[in-house]
Amino acid sequence: MKKSIFNEGDEVNIRSSGESVTINKSQYVKNMKRYSYIVNEHPNTFFFEEELTKE
C-alpha cells in the first residue's frame, strides 16, 4: 500500500472544474490500489487522487 498524497484538511483543486475544496476523509481502495477522497464541499461524491491537484 502506497502513502496517500493528500491529508485530511488539505486544500486542493478539482482538476475538471478548478474548484477549491478541502479534504474531509481519505480511504484506500485495496482492489483498485489507490486512494479515494471525500471533500467537505461535496460530501456525497468521492474523488480519486488523479482527479485532484494541490494548490
Chunked in runs of 10, what are the mean pLDDT values of the chain (55 residues)? 90 98 97 96 97 91
How much is the pLDDT for 49?
A: 95
pLDDT of residue 1: 72
- Rounded to whole angstroms, the Cα distance separating 40 from 3 reads 22
Cell of 7: 491529508
- Tell me the whole-structure pTM to 2 decimals: 0.89
Taking the C-alpha atoms of residue 33 and residue 53, their distance in angstroms, rounded to an integer, is: 19
Q: What are φ and ψ of residue 50, in 5° steps?
A: -70, -10
